[in-house]
A and B are shown apart, each in its own frame.
Chain A
């Protein structure tokens, strides 16, 4: 695998500086405390849009810069460090990729420019139950006139409350558990029959349940081939997972840095506690795990950009390794900080909550370990 280019390093620094100054974790806390039902601050999202970051994956012909997933990943990582909440991942990566992978020309023309300048949010609605299992999709799309009628419920839809359009995985044939018979539809958020309810999650992000009650769409809403969306959905989800893994890596790296900082400054028994071998070794182990997780995340993002053969395996590896490391480091952060770590006033809890929610999103580590096993001859 290749190292980050100078351009990517520059962007990473730029994103880090911006997040530190304009969207530090204190802004996320303010957003949470304000009871903001969307789970992100609109002004912060506009600022992200002005910098063009939502258009990094949008093709040039639709107004974006088409710089690839590794580049997008460095931004997600740096914003992850400050828990910056915005639709950048759900729309700028997942929404944009859905259109790039499966959108019709008309859909691309309509939505990609808006995704790129952050004037619209397009998100994926896939999960229907507590476990991430796309093949179990039952939300039904039945042919009706020139179009389709959608009935069913989606849950755990990221930015589901603010979305201007949904990419909906729906069953057009077969039954729950069949990989075949799933189709993707692009459904406008204002369509009659859509109702949304906010899910107040521990991490204060913008998750929602979305109900489709006789939602009528025309034939132009279909993305890709009818009943054959399984592979596309896999590819799309892999990109989503790799992007989430990049964000998780940033969240984890910040947990690590905060913990290391505490180890260097907290004095007990007349010396800084980082001089105690029991704690120094835990920091060394966490650092080793972080280096390994970083390699997995960057490899997955590069594999997507290179259209490599092992994208699926690497994306599962990245989500799994980023997830296990983030779980480990966020818990160690609390324990090593001691009493202050469990106070709401201190930021550790915000990171712990984000870690848990991100771990559950688009497949947790055990799902991805199982998938990796199947993809690697086990």
Chain B
């Protein structure tokens, strides 16, 4: 579908007017706080709650999803216009956080593999962020070697009976739904006996226990299934084809790191240049006073710029076609490395002020930087570790043969 500039400009005016009328100015620019978790409870701020409702009802939290299921029904180009207009207004998309894994991963996968009934049932509540979705992939003995997972679902005629344990289930302690990879064929080879099963978290057979991470937060849980049940209609995709469905879902996760993907946006934080000026100072020539640190910050900024340009380029090369790109693994690895490097550099810039844990003597930004540094360590582990992404690049993009020892 080709769109004239005229119709895009008309849409821009429409989006601008709608945002002007509906986005509460009191929360402008506070998107970044959602990511850090300081602002996640919509009920605690009536304007944020209002914004969540309005954005959800308009469908613009999921702008490119079909309107028949509650999405915005916009084209990719319109969605990019919307994103720019939101950014200009200091607006952001809180639904992405509030739906858990619903918007970034589960929703796109249900839209691709779900039955009509599954779409009708699950997509509209995700669009309004009425539900929080968790994912059950990893197990204590199935991390990078995910296909060795053991959590099993038995066919009991009118329902599935699920037993086993999942770990690293994000937000499972307050999720309404969980999408799990479970073993449904116990005799098939590793990858062939797995299905993607959707379970209602509100049942006695499921228990969750938060895992405290090195940064102090507990965004993930261990989740235990003891005779948990799932409806027979809740297998997503073909029975025993869960490996394919589950892999696809992870591609959507990586894709969410691209410009075409879902992002929260709308954060105004200090730039690394401003931090360096504040903590390190400048020499008489106006350069950041620590020459070695200055060079490494510059190196970091160049890599970050290269990453952003690559997202732009890949998006442009897709020519408005939002297909999940093979480049997702490249972007994921680059993004996690850049995020971690920025976190390290930020603490280095802060020096003695960059080691605070809590209490007096450190300001909020300094404490947040330390927590953020620790939190960033997970970036290269979840969603397929750095090493797994390199396996994917080597095999799927470069066509290198798989080593038989790799399994």
Contacts and interface: CB of A to CB of B under 8 A. Distances in A.
A102 B327 CA distance: 42
29 contacts: A1-B309, A3-B319, A274-B401, A275-B404, A280-B391, A280-B400, A283-B400, A284-B393, A284-B397, A285-B390, A287-B397, A287-B398, A288-B393, A292-B309, A294-B310, A295-B306, A295-B313, A296-B306, A298-B309, A299-B309, A299-B313, A317-B306, A320-B302, A321-B306, A369-B295, A369-B299, A373-B301, A376-B273, A378-B287
Contacts of A317: 302, 305-306
Contacts of B400: 260, 263-264, 274-275, 280, 283
A304 interface: no
Interface string B4-32: 00000000000000000000000000000
Contacts of A291: 310, 327, 330
B112 interface: no
Interface of B: 271, 273, 276-277, 287-288, 294-295, 297-299, 301-303, 305-307, 309-310, 312-313, 316-317, 319, 327, 330, 333-334, 387, 389-391, 393-395, 397-404, 406
A25 to B, nearest CB: 22
Contacts of B298: 369-370, 372-373, 376, 378
Contacts of A276: 403
Interface of A: 1-4, 260, 263-264, 271-272, 274-277, 280-281, 283-285, 287-288, 291-296, 298-299, 317, 320-321, 366, 369-370, 372-374, 376-378
Contacts of A1: 309, 312-313, 316
Contacts of B317: 3-4
Contacts of B294: 373, 378
B329 to A, nearest CB: 8
A373 B389 CA distance: 31
Nearest to B311: A295
Contacts of A281: 387, 390-391, 394
A378 B333 contact: no
A272 B307 contact: no
A79 B298 CA distance: 31
A275 B401 contact: yes
A19 B309 CA distance: 29
A125 B243 CA distance: 61
Nearest to A272: B401
B394 A292 contact: no
Contact of B394 (A283, A366, A370, A377): A283
B275 to A, nearest CB: 11
A25 B6 CA distance: 49
The prevalent SS among residues of B at the interface is helix
Q: Which residue, of B273, B391, B394, B401, has the highest number of chain A Cβ atoms within 10 A?
A: B394
Q: Name the prevailing secondary structure of the A interface residues.
A: helix
B316 A288 contact: no
Contacts of B309: 1, 292, 295-296, 298-299
B238 to A, nearest CB: 30
A31 B333 CA distance: 42
Contact of B403 (A264, A277, A288): A277
A294 B387 CA distance: 23
Given A260-B398, A285-B390, A373 B297 contact: yes
Contacts of A285: 390
Nearest to B274: A377
Nearest to A264: B400
Given A280-B390, A288-B334, A373-B294, A2 B398 contact: no
The 5 closest A-B pairs by CB, nearest first: A280-B394, A373-B298, A284-B393, A295-B309, A292-B306
A56 to B, nearest CB: 22
Contacts of B277: 377
Contacts of A369: 295, 298-299, 302
Given A373-B298, A378-B297, A378-B298, A275 B306 contact: no
Contacts of A293: 306
A274 B273 CA distance: 42
B390 A372 contact: no
Given A291-B330, A376-B301, A277 B313 contact: no
Contacts of B406: 277
Contacts of A320: 302
Contact of A284 (B288, B313, B390): B390
Contact of A3 (B295, B316, B327, B389): B316
Contact of B273 (A2, A4, A295, A378): A378
B330 A287 contact: yes
A43 to B, nearest CB: 37
A300 to B, nearest CB: 10
Contacts of A377: 271, 273, 277
A3 B398 CA distance: 22
Given A280-B398, A287-B330, A299-B312, 13 more contacts: A3-B313, A280-B390, A281-B390, A284-B394, A284-B398, A285-B390, A287-B397, A288-B330, A292-B310, A369-B298, A369-B299, A373-B295, A374-B287
Contacts of A321: 302, 306
A277 to B, nearest CB: 6
A285 B333 CA distance: 9
A370 B403 CA distance: 43
Contacts of A283: 393-394, 398, 400
A264 B307 contact: no
Contacts of B397: 284, 287
Contacts of A277: 391, 394, 403, 406
A2 B390 CA distance: 27
Interface centre among A2, A288, A320 (most CB of B within 10 A): A288
A318 to B, nearest CB: 9
Contacts of A274: 394, 400-401
Nearest to A299: B309
B297 A2 contact: no
A270 to B, nearest CB: 10
A281 to B, nearest CB: 4
A370 B390 CA distance: 31
A368 to B, nearest CB: 9
A345 B124 CA distance: 65
Contacts of B303: 292
A296 B273 contact: no
A295 B310 contact: yes
Contact of B313 (A294, A372, A378): A294
Given A281-B387, A378-B276, A2 B316 contact: yes
